[in-house]
Structure 1
């Protein structure tokens, strides 16, 4: 979970720890407070959008298909992550933690578990789409319910294990002057075990949640683009353009977040000046919000680029508001397997 720095010395639960040299972060706290409204908006928008995805899957599709199982888990991980944002928003507005030590651990755990699992489920969805398009015939034998459930179980297990260092380091502490409580990783000098946990979290985030997803997503979409271009499909150019947008959005939103986060985690090795810390604090606020917006819309984006979901959404609108029938064309789509059995249907994204 994002930290809200203070310009005071800190006290710790362990009396052997040394306080951090004071460095005012009023500017960073002010920016965080100003941007905190975005967190409430993202929470409400994600709740509505992902809820709509769940309604459409339940209403029109089978919950036992591969794509739907993966989408369902992506929606759950997105909602899990977004559920922590109202607490983070209040934290940023006040610049101190008011929910107690237990909620600090719970919110921090939910925050990282939702964030990490969202990245891996997006990667898994991309890989599954790659299988359905590039290996459409052979993949039908592998892409079954057992494969989907096992893949989701692995993602949740890996995400949970990756959260352990963050969960342990995340704790409450207070300032010496006004006794305000904060909820974040302990800043400054730490015990050797904390150093090892921080280092492990550093490399996990670098390799497992940045480099690995980027490599897999870029590779899969390059293969999909090649397959689409080589096929005789009228909409292939629109599809390739959409693929490019998906990869570009993921890269733009997720890479700066990780770079700034990794630089921040490596502060102790760099021994940055106070001014440098302030600049990094501003960068964290902006890049975090950009990444959060992406994960807020990603399940909706991945779902509603498909023609079937667009048709289902129009049907829901017309049924709820009959007056719109004159303005919205609705084509009936049968309740079928979302897992595509032909290359043409698989790559018909736009």
Structure 2
């Protein structure tokens, strides 16, 4: 079973639509997919929770104990770590939901979903703004010093958190519980499903990916042109960051887009194919794993962070 904009793969044993007496009804059996999710997803979610809490928790501890939060980079890394931890906090609830049913009540359905989406959206936005900040620091090093200040970082962080909360408000409003004769208590979204789907793909994948690719291409070109010691290592890291972001998020968003198109169509034998549902589970888990990779790419790669961890 999938939760609400957890981009529902199967909330009932069958998918169906309204019909009249003259239309044929296509019933899509989803029992095998539901069983696959019930066994595979909770195990992965618990592993994801442990790794993310350890990695992001360690990054948070190092930032607070050793690093002075008076630089733009550290402020953004701190906010990225907090957003990843916020997202991670919701994971155990979804693991329990996948293994049985929603047992936490209607209010917790709204609250946990809200926390999940705020963490999800803010993490993507902080990755994007950190990329833009690096672009300004490298490509426009002189002119950007005027506004690359702590106040700038705090203001940008506030805007990102506000945008993430506003984007998650429809989820909080339209999400709720309902009883199903086959599946028990479900936590699902009752409206704005397609809007949320397209919002996620456009604002939280296509736009961030465009910014990330553009900024890192410009950074790479600038590093290659200048005679900078260790530039090969820096360019390699840039390539890895872009590649990891694309590999983690592109498959998930492509499958999500296909599923959005299917929701606009009447059920047919062709869109009853279970392969998209299996692909959705797998691609979504790969995307979620990105929150575990963030501390490695954005914190522990740095010499100072590695020295602090070694000291611990």
Whether the TM-score (by the shorter chain) exceeds 0.5 is yes
Aligned counterparts of 1:86 and 1:179: Cα–Cα separation in 2: 19
Partner of 2:157: 152
Are the aligned partners of 1:7 and 1:22 in contact in 2 as well (CA < 8 Å)? no
- In the superposition, relative to structure 1, how do residues 9 and 223 fare at CA in structure 2: closer, same or farther (>3 Å)? closer
1:151 and 1:123 mapped to 2: Cα distance? Answer: 11
Which TM-score applies when normalising by structure 1?
0.79
Distance 2:49 2:218 in 1: 34
Q: 2:257 aligns with which of 244, 257, 262?
A: 262
Deviations 1:223-264 (A, max 9, x none): 110111111123212221221111011011111111222322
Written as runs of structure 1 = structure 2, the 5 A alignment for 1:1-350 is 1-2=5-6, 3=8, 4-7=10-13, 23-35=28-40, 36-94=42-100, 96-175=101-180, 177-178=181-182, 180-186=184-190, 194=191, 197-273=192-268, 276-277=271-272, 278-316=274-312
Partner SS for 1:84: helix
Q: State the alpha-carbon separation in 2 of the partners of residues 252 and 208 from structure 1.
A: 18
Q: 1:44 to 1:77 in 2, by over 3 A?
A: same
Aligned Cα RMSD in Å?
Answer: 2.0
Q: How far off its partner does 1:9 sit?
A: 7.9
Normalized against structure 2, the TM-score is what? 0.88
Q: Against the structure 1 CA distance between its residues 299 and 273, is the aligned structure 2 distance closer, same or farther, given a 3 Å change threshold?
A: farther
Contact 2:12–2:182 at 8 Å: present in 1 too?
no
1:55 CA displacement: 1.3
Cα deviation code 1:256-298 (max 9, x no counterpart):
1112223223333133436634222111101110000012221
The alignment covers a number of residue pairs equal to 296
